[in-house]
Chains A and B, each alone.
Chain A
Amino acid sequence: MSEQPFTGTLRLVFANAMSEQPVLTVSRLSSSFGSTCDYCKNSKAQLDRNVCPVCGTIHALREVSIEVFSGEILGIVGESGSGKSTLMRCICFDQRASAGSVTTELVDQGKTNLLECSAQQKRAIRNTLFGMVYQNPWLGLRMDFSAISNIAEQMIASGNRNVKEMRERSLYLLDKVNIPLRRAGDAPREFSGGMQQRVQIAKALSNNPPILLLDEVTTGLDLSVQATVLDLILSLRRDLNVSMIVVSHDLAVIRMLADRTSVMLDGKIIEHGLTDQIMEDPQHPYTQQLVHSLL
């Protein structure tokens, strides 16, 4: 071993990061489908899973709070219908939340609730701050436009007007996600599912967003492509310090990527902790069931 540990100056840098506020704070976010009644307005009301027994309102999210720090990957696991995707969609304004706040220190030092911004501001935030990758590529891509114009569209939306620069960046990103460049001009409609997913990732990365929201990115990809995508995600964190929320029901993916993990059930976060603690010593009965189902 050499005499000096080579970590001296870096500790300071990280130390500053430690005293920082979280990059993204979601606080008591709720989202419901239906009329809501006096009974289920009480957040402690006993529901039939996530459905109100009185009025039939579906509570997709019930007072969910999460924090994401700089350069951190937060994993979210849970069964289908537990509200994982709704959470992501509420954060990036695709869906209206009924209560709660989303703040980021990158906008107004975290004093503004992003959910209360004007439609125009929301669009600007979405285009520059968030990169969203949907479980279903049809939601994230225009299937009839070429792959390269899908990516360019995102850059134009954020104010870029330099065609040469956009073209170069698009090709660079497509190459990075292993799409053969001769197919850059083809429409995603003609691509395989895995390729569509990768074009979506390239699109989400186009503006170098500081926060990435990844909803089941690797689901449905074959294993070798999955490994490439995981590599890509980790290198983004390592090289660009991008913060991410990764939703997946694949525990192996979460174990590999996430520093911390939250477990969702029936619209609520039932357990959160360091990823290895969630995997090795789960506290909640549902989490135990989930972990013990792992192959």
Chain B
Amino acid sequence: MTAMLRIEGLSKVFYLYERDRLIQGCQDIDLEVSAGEFVGITGRSGSGKSTILRSIYRTYHPQSGVIWYDSQRFGLIDMMQASERQVIYLRRYEIGYVSQFLSVLPRTTAFDTVLQSALESTLIDRQNGSAHYNRAVSETERLLRHFNLDEELWSLYPLTFSGGEKLRLNIAAAMIKRPRLLLLDEPTASLDKASKFKVRELIEQLKEGGCTMLGIFHDLEFMEGLCDREYSMHEGFVDAASRQ
């Protein structure tokens, strides 16, 4: 198996000018994810787990290190050096990110939120427009059903949803794009047991479909049997004793 993602010596600190303070993100991280693998990251909150994921997604700009990603379109590419346009392309077609927080357009229904996400990665074809549209619609319906999102909710605004409903919608919107690499930032936090199983089921399906995943989980036991390897973080470092 070849490495889909290889991180070498990644360090990130935040400097707050107004308070003249240095905040430690993560330090000297080495990490590798092979194609088709599902790798978990555990650790206490504040230990720098999310910093790694966000650096891969280029939301953060790390100070040093390299993040090699084996892209379908660009070949081996360092996410830190990639151009902004390349990152936009990768985010649209290859790398997905699920966070605990939902950000949606105002006055956009739950159904449209997921549909837009599907269309975003299909829209540009004008000839086959309607076929793609119909396919996106049926896929949206299928995913929302899978997540047990009540059909009555589909035409409502997600702002009024409960935390768990929002999260399920969030995951649906990210997963419908079927990314090659999926970054999961605590996708099961604040979910009840039944919903957690739904998420697990979907992750299983994605894994069978060959999707590579790197995820942060508080309750890794829950992912038992699914997770191929895990790294455990402590105060910005990856613990040497990480279970392999």
Q: From B18, B61, B86, B121, give the contact of A281 (CB < 8 A).
A: B61
- Distance in angstroms from A75 CB to nearest chain B CB is 12
Q: Which residue of the partner chain, among A10, A231, A281, contacts B122 with CB atoms under 8 Å?
A: A10
Q: B18–A288 contact, CB under 8 A?
A: yes
The answer to whether B125 has its CB under 8 Å from any CB of chain A is yes
B61 adjacent to A227 (CB under 8 Å): no
Number of residues in A with C-beta < 8 Å to the partner? 37
Chain B hits for A10, CB < 8 A: 121-125, 132
At the interface with chain A, which of B28-36, B52-60, B182-190, B216-224?
A: B52-60
Residue of A1, A17, A256 near B178 (CB, 8 A) is: A1
* Residues of A with C-beta under 8 A to B125: 9-10, 13
Q: Is A145 an interface residue (CB 8 A)?
A: no
A207-227 vs B, CB cutoff 8 Å, 1 = contact: the mask equals 000000000000000000001
Mark out the residues of chain A between 246 and 295 whose CB falls within 8 Å of any chain B CB in the assembled complex.
Answer: 255-256, 259-260, 272-274, 276-277, 280-281, 283, 285, 288-289, 292
B105 touches A276 (CB 8 A): no
Asked if B237 lies at the interface with its beta carbon under 8 angstroms from chain A, I say no
Q: State the CA gap A11–B105 with chains docked (Å).
A: 25
One of B39-47, B87-95, B162-170 contacting the partner? B87-95
Are the CB atoms of B18 and A277 closer together than 8 Å?
A: no
Contact of A230 with B106 at beta-carbon distance under 8 Å, contacts A7-B121, A14-B89, A274-B84 already known: yes
- B123-146 interface with A by 8 A CB criterion: 123-125, 128, 132, 135-136, 139
A274 and B59: CB pair below 8 A?
yes
Question: Is the CB–CB distance between B59 and A230 below 8 Å?
Answer: no
Secondary structure at the A interface, as helix, strand, loop or mixed, is: helix
Q: Of B17, B88, B124, B132, which one neighbours A6 at CB under 8 angstroms? A: B132
Distance (whole angstroms) from the CB of B191 to the closest CB of chain A: 20
Q: How far is the CA of A2 from the CA of B16 in the complex (A)?
A: 46
Is B205 interfacial (CB 8 A cutoff)?
yes
B 10-41 to A, binary, CB cutoff 8 A, 1 in contact else 0: 00001011100000000000000000000000
Chain B residue at minimum C-beta to C-beta distance from A228: B107
Tell whether, in the assembled complex, residue B122 and residue A292 are in contact, meaning their CB atoms are under 8 Å apart.
Answer: no
B193 at the interface (CB under 8 A from A): no
**Partner of B87 from A5, A69, A274 at Cβ < 8 Å:** A274
A47 → chain B, closest Cβ, in Å? 21
Given known pairs A276-B59, A285-B17, the reply for A11 and B73 (CB within 8 Å) is yes
B17 touches A288 (CB 8 A): yes
Residues of B within 8 A of A259 (CB): 88
B119 contacts the other chain (CB 8 A):
yes
Is A283 in contact with B61, judged by CB distance below 8 angstroms? yes
Partner of B119, one of A238, A241, A283, A285: A238
Known contacts A280-B54, A285-B17, A288-B18; is-contact A6 B139 (Cβ 8 Å): yes
The 8 nearest A-B residue pairs measured at CB: A285-B17, A13-B124, A281-B60, A227-B106, A5-B178, A10-B125, A276-B59, A280-B59
Question: 19 new A-B pairs (CB below 8 Å) besides A14-B92, A18-B85?
Answer: A1-B178, A1-B206, A6-B122, A10-B121, A10-B132, A11-B73, A14-B89, A14-B93, A14-B124, A227-B107, A234-B105, A238-B119, A241-B124, A255-B103, A274-B88, A281-B54, A281-B61, A288-B16, A292-B18
**13 A-B pairs (CB sep. < 8 Å):** A6-B135, A7-B121, A15-B73, A17-B124, A18-B86, A72-B88, A241-B124, A260-B88, A273-B61, A285-B17, A288-B18, A289-B17, A289-B18
